[in-house]
Structure 1
Amino acid sequence: MPPVLLNGVGLARAKQFKYLGHVVTEDLKDDSDIERERRALAVRCNMLARRFARSSIEVKITLFKAFCQTLYTCNLWVNYTQRAFNALRVQYNNAFRVLLGLPRYCSASAMFAYAHTEGFGAVIRKRIASLMRRVRGSHNTILRVISEKTDCPILGHWVRTHAQVPGVPGGGRYLN
């Protein structure tokens, strides 16, 4: 890469930076941002488990939905490894187990079904569908072009995510 100069002074290149809370890397892979979200989820869940240990199950489920299902910027993840995605999924499942005091090896799908709570795959698909709906409904011409371009990588990822079997990572370009 040629150096970028400003008034004759070379600018330093960052390998990664945060923009509006989303980690952007020089190779445009999402693993670092997924790891950021995994750590944040662990912190939020541990805080809830400590502070609300004596609360009812209904209260804990409500808190989990409010604080642990946000998965900030997950609808932007397109280029990630299966390893990073699975680590976040396992953290999500374990967070729910810890909060409710369930055994470590209980079935994730059963615990979410019993609690009438969305599993990891459903949350991801819901966030992607929400962004897709907003982009397609936008009056911004650039966003309209993206939403109507059938070979757009982001649109392709969104479509593959919704065509997957529930709980299977959503069609992101898995890297080695």
Structure 2
Amino acid sequence: MLVFRYGKGPEVVPPVYLNGSPVRVVTSFKYLGHFLTENLRDDMDMERERRALAVRCNMLSRRFSKCTTDVKTTLFRAFCQCFYTCSLWCNYTKRSYNALRVQYNDAFRILMKQPRYCSAKTMFADAGVPDFYAIMRSRIASVWANVWQNSQQNDILALFTVNPSNKILKHWTAVHLDENGK
């Protein structure tokens, strides 16, 4: 059992029994590949994704080091741009977000045998590959479009789309704004 401790939350959780056996209380739980934590933070899930990206990148760079740039780019798009459940991330530290972004940049550098000091922006532009921020905006826009479209037939989703205090909605909007708020 996972008890979400948002704000003050319960200090003591009474025991819960299922068929006479006590249910264990945990601080985090992996559900459909996404880590949920008691404090509702996304850092653990972002670290899971960062590690998975590192593994995929290392596998690609070992197995396909002698392939052409076009093949490597196609493989990178297929294996390193998925970021499963990233559209759910809205409560995380800058450190976690930057670690994932750096891993994404380094993955492409390693695969393309680029030096560590080369500009990520130029590297992605030259290859015609979206950078980390573009991937995040794209994933969020895709989920938001589906939520918005389905909110016309679903009252729960309709509440989600019109509530201006909704934390996920605020985050999704902020991702699409530049540093000047435009």
TM-score (norm. length: structure 2): 0.87
The correspondence for 1:115, drawn from 94, 106, 127, is 127
- Contact 1:3 1:10 (C-alpha < 8 Å) held by counterparts: no
Aligned counterparts of 1:28 and 1:117: Cα–Cα separation in 2: 32
The correspondence for 2:42, drawn from 3, 21, 30, is 30
Aligned counterparts of 2:165 and 2:178: Cα–Cα separation in 1: 19
Identity of aligned residues (%): 53
Residues 61-100 of structure 1: CA deviation (Å, up to 9, x unaligned):
0110111000111110000000011000000000000000
Aligned counterparts of 1:2 and 1:46: Cα–Cα separation in 2: 43
Larger of the two Rg values belongs to structure: 2
1:42 corresponds in structure 2 to: 54
1:174 corresponds in structure 2 to: none
SS at match of 1:151: coil
> Relative CO higher for 1 or 2, CA cutoff 8 Å, sep ≥ 6?
1
Shift of residue 149, structure 1, vs aligned partner: 1.4
SS at match of 2:41: coil
Aligned counterparts of 2:74 and 2:61: Cα–Cα separation in 1: 13
**Structure 1 unmatched runs, 5+:** 166-176
1:153 corresponds in structure 2 to: 167
Shift of residue 132, structure 1, vs aligned partner: 0.5
- Contact 1:3 1:11 (C-alpha < 8 Å) held by counterparts: no
Amino acid at match of 1:29: R
For structure 1, which segment, 4-13 or 133-142, has the greater mean C-alpha deviation from structure 2 after superposition? 4-13
1:162 aligns with 2:162: no
**Structure 2 unmatched runs, 5+:** 1-11
C-alpha root-mean-square deviation of aligned residues, in Å? Answer: 1.2
1:140 aligns with 2:154: yes
SS at match of 1:27: coil
Shift of residue 142, structure 1, vs aligned partner: 1.1
SS at match of 1:37: helix
Matches within 5 A, 1:1-176: 1-6=12-17, 9-138=21-150, 139-165=153-179
Aligned counterparts of 2:108 and 2:121: Cα–Cα separation in 1: 11
Shift of residue 10, structure 1, vs aligned partner: 3.7
Aligned counterparts of 2:113 and 2:99: Cα–Cα separation in 1: 20
Aligned counterparts of 1:2 and 1:69: Cα–Cα separation in 2: 40
Aligned counterparts of 1:22 and 1:92: Cα–Cα separation in 2: 19
Q: Give the number of aligned pairs.
A: 165
Aligned counterparts of 1:43 and 1:2: Cα–Cα separation in 2: 38
1:172 corresponds in structure 2 to: none
Aligned counterparts of 1:58 and 1:120: Cα–Cα separation in 2: 19
Aligned counterparts of 2:159 and 2:61: Cα–Cα separation in 1: 45
Residues 17-63 of structure 1: CA deviation (Å, up to 9, x unaligned):
10000011111100000000000000001111111111000110011
